Structure 1
Amino acid sequence: MGILFLDYLRSKQGVLKVAQLVILLIAFACVRSTWYNSFYTYGFLEGVTLGYSITVALFLFLTVFGIPKRALFVNRTIAEFVLDTLGFIFISTGSIVAAVKSYDTPILVAASVCGLLVSYLSLVSVILSFVATRRTQPAGLRR
């Protein structure tokens, strides 16, 4: 029994989180490296991608070091469900607005496509979390 719990990174959810983190950092780098004309649109996308990437990295860090196994009062599956649901809402909103505004700048189009890809991965993760939550419930609680 080591200090690191790398089984999560080998699971479907862990691979999705790492992919989300990498693509979010690419989207953030794309938005950050350009001079954009609509501060509110791209500032929102920049802030959302940075904030969500920090949150995903923190979630991965805590999970790899086994904090959810030690803190039994926090349900990791439900926390991941809420994280991915909020991430889907904010990232997809920012990406759609950025896609509408960025028709003339290819790097901003790439940032919005990366954001839409992350929102798709978040949706897949929400579905997997929901399925995992349904499996862990006792048979008497299901309807």
Structure 2
Amino acid sequence: MRLWSLDPRYLDSKGIVALWREALLAQKVLAGQTKGYRNHPQLIRFRGTADPPGSIAEYLSVVCDEADRRGYRFDRTKILPDRLGVKINVTEGQVAYEMEHLKKKLKARDPSALEKILSLEIPPVHPLFTVVPGDVEDWEIT
């Protein structure tokens, strides 16, 4: 499971579809609707909010907005309705780590998408996140 801190506009088509599926699974986990994946490290930052299910719903909403912009048909009714508008901190080191990880993925599966991000020194993050100083997050599996 990879819940990217990066803005979803930088993901290729396979990446955004995978993100949608994985974030929907995360929403089920955070809402207590499944027994699997409960201890997945990618969920730690959402659990640290006042409203974990609402936080992942907000995350999903932005992913769905990007899918809409691309002309994809993601089912927005799968997103939980209640949201508090919570922001989550993400470290500069985490953002840099994810950018390098994404570059490796795009090099293998979508070189044209890779070209679009090569010039980004500081990549924009998903609007749910606020970038703060720090190294790669402790929960990240490197």
Same fold (TM over 0.5): no
Q: Which is richer in strand?
A: 2
- Higher-Rg member (1/2): 1
TM-score by length of 2: 0.32
TM-score by length of 1: 0.32
Q: Which is richer in helix?
A: 1
